């Protein structure tokens, strides 16, 4: 290799190292870009109704903060009040559930009775898992200062982006060759449409799941139905893993009263998720961005391994943007225009 090639290779390695070192900052910046992209759509509609842009930004940001504050007030304080009781009483409820399953296995003959043995072993392992979960829950909120500072940074960057989005877009376009900037601008517009459509769909699903979960938990008489429903709606933002996590708090609360009620809660959440997966998502996403389930799950796993919780949270919007970019750049601009070498042409 020539000296120039070695210098270029070394610069590439250093760039990758620097990007990896600041990957948390980049993820926070991407979060701000997502919020700014979506809020900008609302600001544009307010501008069309005659409102000044600055006032529209203030209204949109205030509305967002109020919604998050209400959800925080609905979810966090009630669970903190119930947490000591859960830690002490859940093992007793699991013991009752194990006894109930053993009695059921005695009454069910053959292989079905053997299958209940799996449930019995599972209930024996659940206390350790729940204790670990509660420990992680506490450790999450012991880092609340870092979380608050990160959210504050995202909010400030979002407001800056909303104040003059075109200026930041022009600066971003300067890193591309002049002949390709218009094409990149069109790709950015398609990414904006895809992100907005995806978020509209996910917000609709979150709302529907929260409503149905709240009604079902209220009918079953499970404590804190509003808090559990809000949590179920929020965790819908993380497909595949979120619904699984959302069933743990209401099932634990129901277990304090009766084993059958805990199983009813699990059945309720499974039914709601089936309706969401097979009816709501295809209906909402028919005219929006569509993501393949296997790719979605693998991307969540990969991003969570590399970037932790932030990677898991942002896996889907990152995948939405990546899908648009791959389709437009790799497929449209490279693969579809690929010319065969002359020696292979007929």
Phi, psi of 43 (to 5 degrees): -65, -40
Q: Are 237 and 300 in contact (CB under 8 A)?
A: no
In a domain, 17, yes or no: no
Question: What pTM was computed for the model?
Answer: 0.71
| Token representation of residue 165 | 């989005």
Over 70: is that where the pLDDT of 224 sits? yes
Q: Are 196 and 37 in contact (CB under 8 A)?
A: yes
pLDDT at 113: 44
Over 70: is that where the pLDDT of 262 sits? yes
Residue burial 203-215, b: 16+ Cβ < 10 Å; e: rest: ebbbebbbebbbe
Average of per-residue pLDDT across 318-342: 80
Phi, psi of 174 (to 5 degrees): -65, -20
In a domain, 3, yes or no: no
In a domain, 181, yes or no: yes
Tens of pLDDT, residue by residue over 132-169, are 555 555 555 555 566 677 888 888 888 888 888 888 88
In a domain, 147, yes or no: no
Domain count, the chain: 1
In a domain, 185, yes or no: yes
CA gap 203, 288 in Å, rounded: 13
pLDDT at 331: 82
Over 80: is that where the pLDDT of 32 sits? yes
pLDDT at 186: 92
Over 50: is that where the pLDDT of 118 sits? no
Of the ranges 6-10, 172-176, 290-294, which is most confident? 172-176
In a domain, 85, yes or no: yes
Radius of gyration of the chain (CA): 25
Over 50: is that where the pLDDT of 309 sits? yes
In a domain, 129, yes or no: yes
In a domain, 60, yes or no: yes
pLDDT at 116: 45
SS3 238: coil
Containing domain of residue 105, as a range? Answer: 23-140+152-331
Specify the DSSP element, H or E, that contains 301. Answer: helix 293-325
Average of per-residue pLDDT across 241-270: 81
Over 50: is that where the pLDDT of 170 sits? yes
CA gap 90, 307 in Å, rounded: 32
Tens of pLDDT, residue by residue over 47-103, are 888 888 888 888 888 888 888 888 777 777 776 676 666 556 556 665 666 666 666
Our CA dihedral for 26, 29, 35, 37, rounded to 10 degrees, sits at -90
Mean pLDDT of the chain: 76
């Amino acid at each position: 290799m020539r000296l120039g090639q070695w210098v270029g290779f070394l610069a590439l390695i250093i760039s990758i190292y620097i990007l990896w070192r600041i990957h948390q900052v980049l993820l926070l910046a991407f979060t701000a870009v997502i919020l700014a992209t979506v809020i900008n759509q609302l600001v544009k509609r307010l501008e069309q109704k005659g409102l000044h842009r600055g006032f529209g930004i203030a209204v949109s940001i205030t509305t967002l903060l109020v919604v998050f504050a209400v959800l925080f007030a609905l979810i966090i304080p009630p669970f903190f009040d119930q947490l000591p009781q859960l830690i002490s009483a859940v093992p007793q409820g699991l013991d009752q559930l194990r006894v109930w399953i053993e009695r059921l296995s005695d009454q069910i003959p053959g292989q079905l009775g053997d299958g209940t043995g799996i449930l019995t072993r599972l209930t024996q392992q659940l206390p350790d898992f729940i204790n670990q979960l509660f420990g992680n829950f506490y450790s999450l909120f012991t880092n609340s200062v870092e979380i608050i500072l990160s959210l504050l940074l995202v909010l400030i960057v979002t407001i800056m982006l909303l104040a003059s989005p075109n200026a930041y877009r022009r600066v971003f376009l300067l890193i591309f060759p002049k002949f390709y900037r218009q094409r990149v601008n069109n790709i950015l517009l398609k990414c904006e449409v895809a992100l907005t459509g995806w978020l509209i769909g996910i917000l609709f699903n979150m709302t529907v799941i929260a409503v149905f979960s709240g009604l079902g938990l209220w009918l079953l008489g499970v404590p804190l139905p509003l808090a559990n429903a809000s949590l179920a709606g929020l965790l819908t933002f993380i497909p595949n893993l979120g619904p699984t996590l959302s069933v743990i708090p209401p099932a634990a609360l129901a277990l304090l009263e009766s084993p059958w009620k805990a199983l009813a809660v699990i059945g309720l959440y499974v039914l709601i998720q089936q309706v969401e997966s097979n009816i709501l998502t295809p209906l909402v996403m028919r005219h929006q961005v569509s993501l393949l389930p296997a790719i979605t799950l693998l991307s969540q796993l990969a991003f969570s391994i590399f970037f932790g919780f932030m990677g898991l949270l942002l896996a889907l919007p990152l995948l939405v943007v990546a899908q648009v970019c791959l389709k437009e750049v790799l497929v449209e601009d490279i693969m579809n225009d690929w010319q065969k070498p002359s020696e292979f042409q007929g």
